Structure 1
Amino acid sequence: MVLRVVGKRAAGASQVVKNNQAKAPTTPRQSARSEATSDGDCEFQSRKSERHRTFGWVEIEPGLEVEALEPTDVLKEHGVPERVMLSYLKGEIEGEAAVKNLPAAILLIVWFLLMNLSHELPETIQSIEKAIDFDIAENANFAFSSPLYMGHKNYEDVNTFADWYSWMRVGFSAIYFPMDASVSEGAEYSLGQLTFDEASTYLQHNRKIGDVILTQQRLFDSDCSNPLVSNALSLNCRSFIGLDLRLKPTELDVSQSGKEFDENADPSKTTTLKYLMEFPQVNVSQQLEQLEQTRWLDNSTYRVKVSFMTYNQIYDVLTTTHIHFMFAISGHIFKQITHRSMKLAAHSSWESWVFEVLFFGHITVLFVCEAFEAICTLREHRYNVLRAWKEYWNFWNVVDWVSICLAYAILITWIIQCVEQDAISAKLEVWEPSARAARDFCEELGAQRGCEGVSPKHLEWCTLMATNNMRCGCAPVGGLCQDSFNHSVGWSCHSTCCKDYLGLHSLCRSSAGYGSTACDQAQSYDIALFTQVEELGYQIRSNRWISGFYPVCIMMRLFKAFAAQPRLAIVTKTLALAANDLTHFGIVFLSIFFTYVAMGMAFFGREVESFASFDRACLALLEALMGEFSVEEMELSGRPVAFFFFGTYMMAAVLLLLNMLIAILMDVYGQVAAGSRTSESLWHECWDIMRRGARKWTGEHTPLSQVVKKYMEIHGKECLESDKVIYVDDVMAAVPGLNRKQAEEEMTSALEEYALENSPDIQISEVISTMGKYFGGQVAPAVSPEELEDISRQMAGCPPTRGALASSDVSDNSVQQAAEGLVGAGISVEVLLKAAGIILDRHEPEWSETSRAQVTALRHVISSAELLCREDKTIMMCQL
């Protein structure tokens, strides 16, 4: 048993090569070991030299292959192979770069998060949109009953054309177009009609912008799939463009189809509920009754959208709300509410500017660094584009450039969004900006440029307004548009000074009625404004999609920073090493998974909505893997079928495949984690960076990159794979200015790291101690102290008292004969381990010379026995 464990990594020179241990010729600096002999000692003269199991270039006496050697002694007496030293230095350089880049990678996602939050305002926007949703779903009721006057139906209960008209007239109009102030239940008094400002407000703090727009998409005539039956029954077939309504669409489906809906909407069916807040005497019920009488809804209606726009002045958020009624060809009416919200002032606070500068500045620095690296690669290959291209493009550089390009795509879409938001904000301003107002005013007076050519009477007011950022305020007075800056001048200005939202609606309000020219202009202005807001909504959605996927690039950049630090790279290395097994597992898993998808659609597709389509069935089975499932819905097709499908899927996918996936990952993870334990921790590398930085500041440290560069300039790239043994003086000669202390420390650290990576996983002393305790209680009869002492002397190579080694002829200095002599002496593995257990269990912090000799003897025996067992495995000792 011991021989198998020890022999795992400790064979001869050929095995050393297999384990990537350096093997170098003997150098003059390697001193030959010799032992003085005396009358009481055994002599093994001219023993064959063997390679040390850890430091493969070190020649050592047989039996001492596993002897612990101090890296400092190895460096002084045996040196270091070039590739060992350079591999260590390059690893330190990469690890140092990774630690230095880690804060930058983390800061990148911090800047992006803060910038995205300042752009999106999720808390504010969701608060406004949820309030509108609740009001429409809970307060816009119809089907009232007496005497409690309780509406029993909401928009979800709209199932016929008549229900839609009832909901619009009784439910929606009551909450969006109130005429009279509401009073408490049972009150017999009236608070009168609402004022214009009160009627213009929705949900207390949201200002109504424009009209309520009713848009309709209709079916068009098409060929029937079975014309014989259709013609026999005198039926006409219709088709649609856009959203498929065979199953209930999600909010995202409806929102994404908005642009397609607008493109295919019937202009002749587009209407507005006109100017109710401008003319309170007009009743919305009359307009809706007229639509119902003219059969605005009919069998060709496919989708209806009720749209309105509100502005919250406290949060500076403009919101468009769409209430969709989708008339499926099957006869079912689906309902959905969607919104598009935006903050008009994109940079209302200095924080948003700061976060954008930090994020895009960070991206610009990355762009410069990557461009410089590409140029350096091109110069290194003497401007050979093809070779430089192959050298430069690797996985991590692709990640860097994708993250840079996506970031600049976000910047471009964000600039476009800001420009559009400013344009919409300008249209909604109460007064026109001073420069434009001054220009319009002066142009009305006949000026061509600024205030030039204006008469002295008008020049004073024009100059004052332009220089002091005054604005042309227009208020309807007697049907005219007068300036409100200084009524005393008595100037009347043209309607160009009232081309903003409030000015146009003020003129409409002061006109004869909603059929006037002024009201037509206001209506056209509102429709153009609504269209502009919708177009901006699509732009914002594109920006949100890019911003939503961008964190994946940031995550990959984090993995790049983790990859050079072994303790942080456990996850990425685990996935990389397990990629082959995961690929084969994925083939098996997907085969079984899609089989159950097809089975689920066949069993439950007609009864359970989650299995009615391929994508829904895939999502349902993925949720089932995570524990989210509904057996009750499956039981609609019968309990036996549900039991068979659900039971076999849980057994195959969850209990078997999912656990196999965990087993594959954990198996590789254990190997990666075991290998990373010998590497430096993140904190240790941080300390090394600070220590080297402090020494560099004082001039005692040469950068490791400079050491590698200058060494390779002299010895060439071949030294990266060379087993040539070098010493401190060699490195100092190749790197001028290198401090001896630094050279010794770095080369010693290289040996320490090499020893940790190439030492046996289980120490010999641990194996002997553990097995000694195990066999200790099974050895009978007990070994006396005299026998143990005799065994110790035999193992130490001293003359035995019982002639244990008498039969061994060691005159030819054969290690194999020495091992045969020990076996022939009857020293069994049990007795050997019993002795080792006693020795190691009783050792003090500092072993005595006798104990050290005994432990060394144990190593002699085990190493020699290994050589013997490779020759003849039939020996009982080798089988144990």
Structure 2
Amino acid sequence: MGSHAAHHGHTTSRPTDLFGFTEKEYDEEPELGQTGLRALGTTVLASGELEFDEDLTAIKHDEALYSAVNTMKRHKTITYDDIVSSRGVPQNVFLEYVKWEIDTENTFLELPLTIVVLVSFTILATNILHQEQLYAIEEAYERDIIENANFAWSGNFGHKGIEQVFSVADFWSWMRLGFLSLLGRSQWLYSEAAPDVFGGPVTAGTSYNVSSLPQSWLFAGYQKPTPVANDYLQYAKLVSGVRMRQAVSAADSQYCIYPNALDPQLQNDWLRKPCFPSDLGVLSPELQEAENFQELVREEFLFPDLSSMAEMTRKLLDMEDGCHYASLSGGQDSCLCNWCKVQSPLQPWIDERTARIEISMLLFNAQYGAYTYVSVNFMLNRGGHIHAFMHCLSAFVSPFLRPFSELVLTIIAAILWIAALLYAAVAEIWEMIHTVRHSSNRFYRALWQEYLGFWNFVDWASVLVGTLTIGFWIQGRLAVAALNELLPSMIQASLAPDAGYEATARSIFARAEVMSKAKKDTEFQMMIYPLIIMLRIFRSFEAQPRLAIVTATLKTAAPDLAHFFMIFWCVYFCFVVSSLLFFGQDLESFSTLDRALHTSFLAMFGDWDWLGMREVGMMRSAAWFWLFMIVMVLFLLNMLLAIIMDAYQVEKFKASDATTLWQQVLDMIQRRRQYQRGERVRLSDVFEVFRKEFKGREKEMMSSERIISVEYLVTHVTRMPYKQAYKTLVNALKRDEELSNGFMSEEQVNKQVESTLDTFAAKIAAVREDVEFVADQLDFWDRLQAPGDSEYDFYFGAEGHTPDEASKLWIHNSISSISVELQHLFSRGLQRIGVWQDEFECEQSELNENLLEVHQVLLQLQDAIVYLQMIVDSMDNNKEDVPGEPPVAP
């Protein structure tokens, strides 16, 4: 494109990008020719880029032109391939990518193992617990006692049940007429009186009467006519008998609360009895209160094997009246209530100190092979109300007495689950050893700083909870085994009662309590374990972008959620406190802070008791309810959904072009096949090469900024193909840039595009102004009729020249004039652009200098820390040699 000027003088280089590429500055050169025109030498590269000739120094003469050339050189496209081919990649960038790929693949490979753990644990737990069978047993017992243990009889109908026991008298009526009748069924039951049901015409002329029907039936295969003694609901057997215990409160006048103005003696004279503080039964009791077997006294037993129905009824009467009937009829020694008859003076078994009554029995169901500890509890609160509820705790006599196919499946699931548990424990221990071995810190610092993380905590939690689950299950089986060992002696005592019957029964109940507690502990541990597995599944999902959308959404929304929940919980807690003060006295669901928290939470999702709330006051309740719904549901809850959905849209946009699950699996299979064919090496082998080179100092290895080229990898990594080395380095650069730049949301991209378009429009406007100026200048000189005008000079300015010479002179002068004018216009435009570019370069240079200074300071600090660590290690090892001076950062 023209002649090149001779190059002379010196050259200097300056960085123009982060990868060390440079451009050259040139000395000034004189103008080319008399017209001032300059030619730019260019070369088309293989990539299609236009490269300016580095030897063309004449452009340095024009500052605007020089600035424009440099700007165009900086704006040329540099690809990742160019960087890898010409320079290479820093070692820390490359190894970070390799380690990330290894960790991602290992985490993804854990997903099938985690699913196997979950499936095997599910099969194992369901086959061991068989909750459906236990539900069938316990539901039958509870329904029978609740619905059929009735009192307040009128004819054939009992009008009250356990839920209508509101006084001590009701309790004794329920015990004698309701509960005891369920245990003493010694004859086959029929429907209601047949003649009354069928009517006269059906039974006319017959002697049909229910009382004349058989009292028992000897069915085929039975050894004894049914009902058999101690049978319960046809399929269960009462083991030993029924135990009655109670919890009592302390009695003292000091527990009474009076106004301060009253005299204490006057208070006692007026009340004439002490007070009995108790926290039991203040609100509706919960099941765990029935699992407390401590501090229960006044123990009494009802043994159907030892006593008839009349004798057990008599004992209940003695317990109720405090042996008063016995003292009138046969003397105090004939009283069947052991506790009552030793009191002085005599007193009933239930008094005002009673806080809780437990009626328990152990049932054995041979159909399912299960023990059931049944407890009927009555909580007597100090308001005078009695809360009644039932609780059943069951356990199978043996988990191995199952069909063969189910037993085989259970054993396989147990082996898989325990093997996975051991694998996780060994993997974590090996990772700890590896971290400590390759760390320069002491073992506790290495574990705390380099090993311990959230996912390691999750792995150890799964191992710990799984181990505790096994331990509690073994403890439960040992408790059941102890009960099984005692059952033969209990059966023998039941068939042939003797003096040791009651002692055996006490031992049976004691072991049944241990069995019940162990069963609840095992179920609790089994309940926690799937939640830990859920976290491990989320960890495996993070290795697949499309599966990690949920966790990524929560991470993206975490800052906004943290600020939102500060507002949400403050507002929500204010509503909870107001509901506690407003409804707590009238509604049990709002009577305590924890209940108000739960009830208000349910109300946010549509579960509320408006009929109960309305009783407090229609308008007042409506005002609170409207305000709660508008603020918590319409505003805050929908804002929460908006925050999550906004983060979800961002993560979904990120993962729109991500590899699918199936494609990732196929890629892993393909890499595996390529490794087997020798077409690639494993990244773990590549990482191990660098680790051996740095003698296990992984921290130093990962921080090194040594440049790694394709040739270096091919040379140092055995059998590594050139293509794989090249592709790995390119991918490392891509990932590093993605981490450096971060991710721009769709809104940010739109704003950047809009800003770019505005800048481009401003530049177009400036060019348009310059073009209009050029057009105006041309028009002016075209219209001017004076010496110096083109037409005037053409006709009148060529005296002394031939027509041909005049024409050539006119053409030459016109071209020269236009060239000079265009040159000045172009020079002014480029000068303006150059000024802008110089300002930008100055700012960029200052920024690079600041970053370089910060980098140097960090290097010095790092070297000082390393030096101090070397001194500490030397002192610990009692070495005499002292390290040299700390290296100075370049």
Q: TM-score, normalised by structure 2?
A: 0.68
SS at match of 1:220: coil
Match of 1:380 among 431, 438, 441: 438
Alignment of 1:331-410 (within 5 A): 331-348=384-401, 349-381=407-439, 384-390=442-448, 391-410=450-469
Q: Rg: which structure is higher? A: 2
Structure 1 residues 43 and 564 mapped into 2: Cα distance closer, same or farther (>3 Å)? closer
Structure 1 pair 711/66, CA: closer, same or farther in 2 (3 Å)?
farther
Query: Do the aligned residues in 1 keep the contact of 2:245 with 2:300 (CA within 8 Å)?
Result: yes
* Equivalence for 2:151: 142
User: 1:680/1:95 Cα in 2 relative to 1: closer, same or farther (>3 Å)?
Assistant: farther
Q: Does 1:265 align with 2:296?
A: yes
Contact 1:84 1:754 in 2 (8 A): yes
**How far, CA to CA, are the matches of 1:810 and 1:761 in structure 2?**
40
**2:108 corresponds to:** 99
1:634 to 593, 613, 621: 613
Asked if 1:171 corresponds to 2:207, the answer is: no
**C-alpha separation in 1, matches of 2:91 and 2:661:** 26
Conserved? CA contact 1:140–1:167, under 8 Å: yes
Using a 3 Å threshold, how does the CA distance of structure 1 residues 312 and 66 change in structure 2: closer, same or farther?
Answer: farther
- The residue aligned with 2:480 is 421
Deviations 1:706-757 (A, max 9, x none): 2133246558866756666543212212323212232233334445656777
> Which residue among 365, 374, 377 is the counterpart of 1:312?
365
Q: Deviation string for 1:752-776 (max 9, x for gaps)?
A: 656777698789999999999xx99
Shift in CA distance, 64/271, structure 1 to aligned 2, threshold 3 Å: farther
Cα distance between partner residues in 2 of 1:681 and 1:191: 76
Preserved CA contact (<8 Å) 1:230 1:236: no
Contact 2:52 2:73 in 1 (8 A): no
Q: Secondary structure at the match of 2:373?
A: strand
Residue 735 (str. 1) matches residue 714 (str. 2): no
SS at match of 2:271: coil
After superposition, the C-alpha distances for 1:9-29 in whole angstroms (9 at most, x for unaligned) are xxxxx9998xxxx5333599x
Give matches, 1:322-721, under 5 Å.
322-348=375-401, 349-381=407-439, 384-390=442-448, 391-429=450-488, 500-508=489-497, 518=498, 520-677=499-656, 679-711=658-690, 713-714=692-693, 720=702
1:34-53 equivalences in 2 (<5 Å): 34-35=42-43
CA distance in 2 between partners of 1:343 and 1:15 (Å): 79
Counterpart residue type for residue 346 of structure 1: P
1:211 aligns with 2:251: no
Q: Distance in 2 between matches of 1:73 and 1:748?
A: 10
Identify if the C-alpha distance between structure 1 residues 171 and 311 changes in structure 2 by more than 3 Å, giving closer, same or farther. same
Comparing 152-161 and 81-90, the one that deviates more: 81-90
- Whether the 8 Å CA contact 1:307–1:322 is kept in 2: the answer is yes
RMSD over aligned CA atoms reads 4.4
CA distance in 2, matches of 1:807, 1:240: 106
The one-character-per-residue Cα deviations of 1:290-333 (angstroms, maximum 9, x if unpaired) are 33332333333222122122111121111011111222211111
Q: Verify the 8 A CA contact 1:695 1:701 in the aligned structure 2.
A: yes
Q: Which amino acid aligns with 1:209?
A: V
Does the aligned pair in 1 maintain the 2:240–2:494 contact within 8 Å?
Answer: no
Query: Aligned match of 1:302 in 344, 350, 355?
Result: 355
3-state DSSP class of the match of 1:100?
Answer: helix
1:193 is displaced (CA, Å) by 4.0
Q: Which amino acid aligns with 2:586?
A: E
**Structure 1 residue 225 corresponds to structure 2 residue 257:** yes
Give distance in 2, aligned partners of 1:219 and 1:685.
Answer: 68
For residues 33-82 of structure 1, the C-alpha deviation after alignment (integer angstroms, 9 at most, x for no partner) is: 94469xxxx9987699xxxxxxxxxxx98569888776556644564454
How far apart in 2 are the matches of 1:219 and 1:24? 85
Deviation at 1:168, TM superposition (A): 1.9
* Inter-partner Cα distance in structure 2 for 1:75 and 1:404: 45
Q: Give the Å deviation of 1:107.
A: 2.0
Q: Distance in 1 between matches of 2:730 and 2:604?
A: 52
The amino acid across from 2:133 in the alignment is T
Q: Structure 1 residue 521: deviation in Å?
A: 1.4
- Assess if the C-alpha contact under 8 Å between 1:99 and 1:685 holds in 2: no
Which residue in the other structure is 1:191 paired with? 213
State which of 248, 259, 267 in structure 1 corresponds to 2:284: 248
- Matched AA of 1:191: L
Stretch of structure 1 that moved more, 620-629 or 122-131? 620-629
Does the residue aligned with 2:388 lie in a helix, a strand or coil?
A: strand
1:492 aligned residue: none
DSSP-derived class of the 1:233 partner: helix
Shift of 1:612: 0.9
Per-residue deviation, residues 591-644 of structure 1 (Å, max 9, x unmatched):
222222221121111111111111111111111222222233222222232122
Q: Are 2:439 and 2:699, in contact at CA under 8 Å, matched by a contact in 1?
A: no
Contact 1:45 1:813 in 2 (8 A): no
The Cα shift of 1:344 comes to 1.0
Task: Note if contact 2:167-2:385 (Cα within 8 Å) is conserved in structure 1.
Answer: no
Could you list the runs of 5+ residues in structure 2 that have no partner in the other structure? 1-13, 25-39, 58-68, 195-208, 217-224, 259-263, 323-347, 402-406, 762-767, 776-814, 845-890
Q: 2:317: which partner in 1?
A: 289
How far residue 420 of structure 1 moved from its aligned partner, in angstroms, is 1.9
Which stretch has the larger CA shift, 763-772 or 678-687?
763-772
Helix, strand or coil at the partner of 1:305: strand
What is the letter of the counterpart of residue 108 of structure 2?
V
- Cα pair distance change 1:208/1:152, threshold 3 Å: same
Equivalent position of 1:51 in the other structure: none
Q: How many Å separate the matches in 1 of 2:367 and 2:102?
A: 54
Cα distance, 1:338 vs. partner? 0.4
1:215-252 CA deviation, whole Å, 9 max, x = no partner? Answer: 222233122222566414133233356x5222111233
1:185-208 Cα deviation digits (max 9, x unpaired) = 224133344457523321121122
Query: Aligned pair in 2 of structure 1 residues 819, 331: CA closer, same or farther (>3 Å)?
Result: same
Could you tell me whether the CA contact under 8 Å between 1:196 and 1:278 is conserved in 2? no
Cα-to-partner distance string for 1:116-166 (whole Å, 9 max, x where unaligned):
2233221111111011111111122222323xx222221111122222222
The letter for the 1-side match of 2:370 is: V
Matching residue of 1:161: 168
- C-alpha separation in 2, matches of 1:211 and 1:378: 61
Looking at structure 1, the residues matched to 16 and 146 of structure 2 have their Cα atoms a distance apart, in angstroms, of 77
**1:99-130: CA deviation from partner (whole Å, max 9, x where unpaired):** 11111222222222222223322111111101
Paired residues of 2:243 and 2:302 also in contact (CA < 8 A): yes
Q: CA deviation at 1:808?
A: 7.2
C-alpha distance 229-292 of structure 1, shift in aligned 2 (>3 A) = same
| CA–CA distance in structure 1, aligned partners of residues 409 and 161 of structure 2 | 43
The amino acid of 2:110's aligned partner reads N
Per mean C-alpha deviation after superposition, the further-off stretch among 697-706 and 743-752 is: 743-752
Q: How many residues end up aligned between the 2 structures?
A: 682
Name the CA shift for 1:218/1:808 in 2 (closer, same or farther; >3 Å): farther
- Aligned match for 1:746, one of 707, 712, 728: 728
